Amino acid sequence: MNLTIREALLAFRRAPLLSALSVTTIAFSLFVVGLFGLVAVNLQDALRGVAERVEIVAYLLPGTPIESITLAEKDIEAFPEVHSAVYVSEDSALARARAELVEFRDVLQELERNPLPASIEVKLKPRFRDAEHVNDVADRLRGFGFVDDVRFGRDWVEKLDRLRQIAAAVGLVVGAAFAVVAIIIIGTTIRMAVLQRSREIAIMRLVGATNGFIRRPFLLQGAIKGMLGGLVAVGLSYGAYTLINRWLIQAAFFSNVQALAIVGFGTLIGLFGSAASVGRHLRRV
Amino acid sequence: MIKFTNVFKAFPKGGLALKDVSFHIAKGEFVFLTGHSGAGKSTVLKLIYADEPVTSGEVRVSGFNVAELRPRDVPMLRRRLGIVFQDFRLLEDRTAEENVAFALEVTGARRSSTPARVMRVLTQVGLAAKAQAYPRELSGGEQQRVAIARALVNEPSVLLADEPTGNLDERATRGVFQLLRDINASGTAVVMATHDLDLVRQAPYRVIELQEGALVYDSAVDEPRDQAATP
Domain range annotation of chain B: 1-80+157-222, 88-155
B contact test, residue of A3, A196, A199, A206 with most B CBs within 10 A: A206
Q: How many residues in total does chain B contain?
A: 231
Lowest mean pLDDT among A42-56, B16-30, B168-182: A42-56
Catalogue the E-assigned strands of B39-178.
56-61, 64-65, 81-85, 158-162
ipTM over 0.90: no
Using a CB-CB distance cutoff of 8 angstroms, which residues of chain A are in contact with residue B79? 207-208
Q: Are A160 and A47 in contact (CB under 8 A)?
A: yes
Model pTM score:
0.69
Distance, in Å, from the CA atom of A197 to the CA atom of A29, rounded to the nearest integer, reads 27
Cβ distance of A200 and B91 shorter than 8 Å: yes
B contact test, residue of A199, A203, A207, A211 with most B CBs within 10 A: A207
Residue A269 one-letter amino acid = I
Domains present along chain A, CATH in parentheses: 2-48+160-284 (no CATH), 55-152 (3.30.70.3040)
Phi, psi for A118 (deg, rounded to 5): -75, 160
Judged against a pLDDT cut of 50, whether residue A148 lies above it is answered with yes
Distance, in Å, from the CA atom of A191 to the CA atom of A185, rounded to the nearest integer, reads 10
Question: Helix (H, G, I), strand (E, B), or coil: what is residue A146?
Answer: coil
Judged against a pLDDT cut of 80, whether residue A11 lies above it is answered with no
How does pLDDT run across A121-143, given as a tens digit for each residue? Answer: 888 887 887 778 888 888 888 88
Distance, in Å, from the CA atom of A200 to the CA atom of A191, rounded to the nearest integer, reads 14
Judged against a pLDDT cut of 70, whether residue B148 lies above it is answered with yes
- Average pLDDT of span A230-244: 89
Distance, in Å, from the CA atom of A274 to the CA atom of A222, rounded to the nearest integer, reads 5
Average per-residue pLDDT for chain A: 81
Distance, in Å, from the CA atom of B144 to the CA atom of A37, rounded to the nearest integer, reads 58
How many other β-carbons are positioned within 10 Å of the β-carbon of residue A284? 6
% pLDDT > 90, chain A: 5
Phi-psi region of B84 (alpha: psi -120 to 50; beta: other; left: phi over 0): beta
Distance, in Å, from the CA atom of B81 to the CA atom of B154, rounded to the nearest integer, reads 8
Q: What is the pLDDT of residue A155?
A: 66
Average per-residue pLDDT for chain B: 91
How many other β-carbons are positioned within 10 Å of the β-carbon of residue A53? 10
How does pLDDT run across A209-226, given as a tens digit for each residue? Answer: 888 888 888 889 889 988
Q: What is the pLDDT of residue B200?
A: 92
- Average pLDDT of span B51-73: 92
- Average pLDDT of span A266-284: 84
Confidence bin at B228 (pLDDT 50/70/90)? very low
Distance, in Å, from the CA atom of A12 to the CA atom of A192, rounded to the nearest integer, reads 13
The DSSP H or E segment spanning B210 is strand B206-211
Q: Is B1-80+157-222 in CATH node 3.40.50.1970?
A: no
